[in-house]
Chain A
Amino acid sequence: MKQQRRIFLKGLASSAGVLLAGCSQTEPPTYGNVLRMGDLLTYKAHRLLLPAHSLAREYDYSDISSVPAIGTTNPADPDKCPSFDAENGSAYERLLANRFADWRLVVAGSVTAPRGFSLDELKRMPSRTQITRHTCEEGWSAIAQWTGVPLRSVLEAAGIRSTARYVQYYSYDDWADGIDMMDALHPQTILAYGMNGRELPISHGAPIRLRVEKQLGYKSMKFLRRIVVTDHFDDNGAKGNIQNGWSWYAGI
């Protein structure tokens, strides 16, 4: 649960953010905060020491467990969306009304062919089904089966440029986050539209949520809206983890 995130460090961080805007950032900024320096150390140590191609544990069908849905459980309902915004909420409501037929996942940024993907289009692409553990920063975990299209396939379909270094993503409940290429191109990083053999429920991020299996649950963003490939690091300002007092890298 991260609604308290926005409270932290906002004043300090936003002023520093202005100074850094436009700079060509190559790694997560720390804003002089010792906790963010520790996060950066952990991120760099993981990237240096851990093998790039390892897969997160995949479980058996019989291991599938009950799964709580937390944070936003419906972006159109102010009682179910701590970050509710009337404009985003009604946009999501309209999509929901015709079962996401008008939903498009916009893929833009450092790609040769920026475009929107419809849900049907994504479902027609080769899919991957994996039974993995969702590990929440709160301390609980749950095992579920996720079906979706590898993020890599979508990035390649949009013509990802060789200069690309990070993938940013944005949701209908007004969150913004990002991952590096190592996680973005990882075979288990999928845009999931199915859960436990059914359509992805609204509470779990319909029509599509990201699955980033080598990081904590909060990186697996629900209610995806837009993907932007960047050549530099973007902390997504006041909507991102860092300026809200959380680690951008959540592999630990």
Chain B
Amino acid sequence: MPDPASTSQVAGHRRWVRICHWLAAAGFLTLALSGFFILLVHPRLYLGHAGNDLTPALLTLPIGNDLRPDKMQSPVVFTELPGAPVTAERNFPIFNQNGWARSLHFLAAWILVCAGAVYVAFGVVSGHIKRDLLPRGRELAPRALLQDLKSHLRPAVGSVGTGPPYGLLQKLTYASVMLVVLPLMVATGLTMSPAVAAAYPFLLDLFGGYQTARTIHFFGFAALVLFLLVHIAMVIATGFGRQLRAMTWGNPR
């Protein structure tokens, strides 16, 4: 466990931050890729507990399988039931790589969750999260925010460090990704597990159902991909090689 007093003096990223960063990066890229393949199988999003090709979608993404209800065969209406739900047959093959995609998704999730747990534990004990990630109250003044936003529009190579202290927007971004979006991804992911949802049914109520959890999981994915793109753009803008070395080997003293 690093000593907070000494590590705060060291410029650049601490070793446990670097290890967790690359484990999480590997985990996230694998999750994003396998998650994309999983999404291709059924690119329709819904709210509530039930949602399928025979029910209206909140959003249909223009990717993957096109499964219009009119392609289904032999519909039967359960006329005696409220809303007269139907059943219909799907008798054609669809694109489905979920055999490896799902298992790879959960394997990568184990890696990301473990890296995240280590990060949060070290981050709390060492004070890194409080000191380097959470903005101080006065930093959040609108003028300070505007100032930081403006400074992001100027070329910055060489003028920015390779670790803490972070800028205001940088802090807000890292803190929301690590402390809000990623935990939300884990929670909505677990809600989609039939065994976990049976054990902890409050998850279904918290998110408003299996399909709502899946929809939130998708928008979380979209937010994380957006973060990744901006993150890489910022790394390039402030010296790609320099930043990559600092996050991999640390800074030479």
Bound together, the chains give a CA A37 to CA B39 distance in angstroms of 23
Check B50–A143 contact: CB distance below 8 A.
yes
Mark each residue of chain A from 192 to 232: 1 if its CB lies under 8 Å from any CB of chain B, else 0: 00001110010110000000011110000000000000000
Bound together, the chains give a CA A42 to CA B110 distance in angstroms of 9
User: A1 contacts which of B51, B52, B96, B193 (Cβ < 8 Å)?
Assistant: B96
Give the Cβ gap from A44 to chain B, nearest Cβ, in Å.
12
User: B194 contacts which of A3, A69, A216 (Cβ < 8 Å)?
Assistant: A216
CB-based nearest B residue for A219: B194
Highest count of chain B CB atoms <10 Å: which of A63, A67, A198:
A67
Q: If the complex has contacts A38-B103, A51-B199, A196-B81, are A138 and B41 also in contact, measured as CB distance less than 8 A? A: yes
Bound together, the chains give a CA A204 to CA B97 distance in angstroms of 23
Task: Indicate the size class of the contact surface on chain B.
Answer: 35 or more
Residues of chain B within 8 A of A42, CB atoms compared: 106, 110
Bound together, the chains give a CA A142 to CA B74 distance in angstroms of 18
Residues of chain B within 8 A of A63, CB atoms compared: 49-50
Residues of chain A within 8 A of B97, CB atoms compared: 4
CB-based nearest B residue for A52: B199
Mark each residue of chain A from 110 to 150: 1 if its CB lies under 8 Å from any CB of chain B, else 0: 00000000000000000000000101111111110000000
Residues of chain B within 8 A of A250, CB atoms compared: 194
User: A133 contacts which of B93, B107, B195, B210 (Cβ < 8 Å)?
Assistant: B210
A-B contacts counted at CB < 8 A amount to 181
Give the Cβ gap from A59 to chain B, nearest Cβ, in Å.
7
Per the 8 Å Cβ criterion, residues 158-215 of B in contact with A are 192-199, 201, 204, 210-211, 214
Bound together, the chains give a CA A214 to CA B54 distance in angstroms of 23
User: B52 contacts which of A3, A4, A140, A204 (Cβ < 8 Å)?
Assistant: A140
Check B90–A68 contact: CB distance below 8 A.
yes
Per the 8 Å Cβ criterion, residues 73-96 of B in contact with A are 73-74, 76, 78, 80-83, 85-91, 93-94, 96
Check B50–A203 contact: CB distance below 8 A.
no
Residues of chain A within 8 A of B80, CB atoms compared: 197
Verify if B66 is at the interface (C-beta below 8 Å from A): no
Give the Cβ gap from B107 to chain A, nearest Cβ, in Å.
3
Verify if B32 is at the interface (C-beta below 8 Å from A): no
User: A46 contacts which of B39, B74, B89, B195 (Cβ < 8 Å)?
Assistant: B195
Check B98–A138 contact: CB distance below 8 A.
yes
Check B89–A73 contact: CB distance below 8 A.
yes
Check A68–B72 contact: CB distance below 8 A.
yes
CB-based nearest A residue for B195: A251
Check B196–A4 contact: CB distance below 8 A.
no
Check A79–B99 contact: CB distance below 8 A.
no
Check A138–B42 contact: CB distance below 8 A.
yes
Give the Cβ gap from A68 to chain B, nearest Cβ, in Å.
5
14 A-B interface contacts by CB (under 8 A)? A50-B195, A64-B78, A64-B83, A64-B85, A66-B85, A67-B87, A68-B54, A68-B89, A69-B87, A135-B194, A138-B96, A140-B51, A201-B76, A247-B102
B residues in contact (CB < 8 Å) with A = 38-39, 41-42, 44, 49-55, 72-74, 76, 78, 80-83, 85-91, 93-94, 96-100, 102-104, 106-107, 110, 192-199, 201, 204, 210-211, 214
